[in-house]
Amino acid sequence: MRKTAAILWVPIALTGTAAHAADPRPETLTAFHRYVTAAEAQWNDPVGPDQFLFIDRLPDSDRRSAYQQLQSGEVDIEEMYTEENHHPIPIPGGLVHHWVGIIFIPRGTLAEVNAVLHDYDHQADIYKSDVRQARLIERNGENSKIFEQFYSKSIVTVVLNVYFDVAEKTLGNARAESVSRSTRIVEVVDFGTPTEHERTDGKDYGYMWRLNSYWRLEEKDGGVYVQIESISLSRTVPLLLAWIVNPLTRSIPRDVLSRTLINTRKAVQTLQAPRP
């Protein structure tokens, strides 16, 4: 799952019409890590045998309905909010974008999903709306380092080079999970030209400062459930642009997440040999 563990970034390209943003302040990063720690603690405490996916923690009637909708082909996407001791976690100087989505791939297997997610040579084709390049830098057992170049075009066009540390884990015969954490994010200048290069003038716009992505796969019910959870950090939205940007900071990540899940399912289905 090393690869697309990453593509769920929130492309806040819309803030590019404002002034350049400095690197995140120490207190911004401290607050983001606090948010991430609280979110991860909630996912893992407790993780019972039947609570692997986020829909498993819903009330019984909602859980049954969610599974029925997924098995009928729908995608379930939710915006998430993590609190600490029942209080919001403030992020001074930054915005946290937290989303989760899940899809069902009928007749799919863990092996087929992993084959797609490790196919770095074809990531730009599989996820062509959002990924321009991808490659494995190094691998050491279940840990790896990867590179992906993300593309977003909204009010402005943004291209980011993002480097990740990824840790994978197989949980028995039917479950697997992956955690991807960005180690470096840098904007790309003159993309698509012979002079394309990473920005070095220290004038990044702060479209995305950090990105963590969490994949969970579970094979059951005659197929595979694929879940992606994403937590990213960007600069704050200038007040004068908030009325335009705020609605889009919700619709854009939802669209990216939906495309990622749907394109993963399509790629898996192309691998499947005809079955009776």
Say if residue 256's pLDDT is above 80.
Answer: yes
Domain range spanning residue 159?
Answer: 4-271
pLDDT tens figures, 196-244: 888 876 666 667 889 999 999 999 999 999 999 999 998 876 555 544 4
Predicted confidence at residue 4, as pLDDT, reads 42
Give whole-number Cα distances, 53 to 32, 44, 56, 61, 257, in Å.
24, 11, 5, 16, 16
The more confident residue out of 273 and 177 is 177
Give whole-number Cα distances, 49 to 39, 46, 191, in Å.
19, 10, 46
The more confident residue out of 179 and 13 is 179
CATH number at residue 254: 3.30.530.20
Which range among 7-21, 85-99, 223-237 shows the weakest confidence by mean pLDDT?
7-21
Q: Which of 7, 9, 14, 8 is nearest to 247 (CA)?
A: 14
Over residues 79-88, mean pLDDT: 92
pLDDT tens figures, 113-156: 999 999 988 999 999 889 999 999 999 999 999 999 998 876 66
Q: Which of 100, 118, 138 is nearest to 8 (CA)?
A: 100
d(CA 224, CA 70): 11
d(CA 61, CA 2): 34
Residue 276 domain flag:
no
d(CA 233, CA 211): 6
Q: Indicate the number of domains in the chain.
A: 1
Predicted confidence at residue 202, as pLDDT, reads 66
Q: For residue 136, what are the β-bridge partners?
A: 146
Say if residue 77's pLDDT is above 70.
Answer: yes
Say if residue 57's pLDDT is above 60.
Answer: yes
Predicted confidence at residue 50, as pLDDT, reads 78
Predicted confidence at residue 9, as pLDDT, reads 39
Cis omega (within 30 of 0) for bond into 26? no
Say if residue 193's pLDDT is above 90.
Answer: no
Residue 41 domain flag:
yes
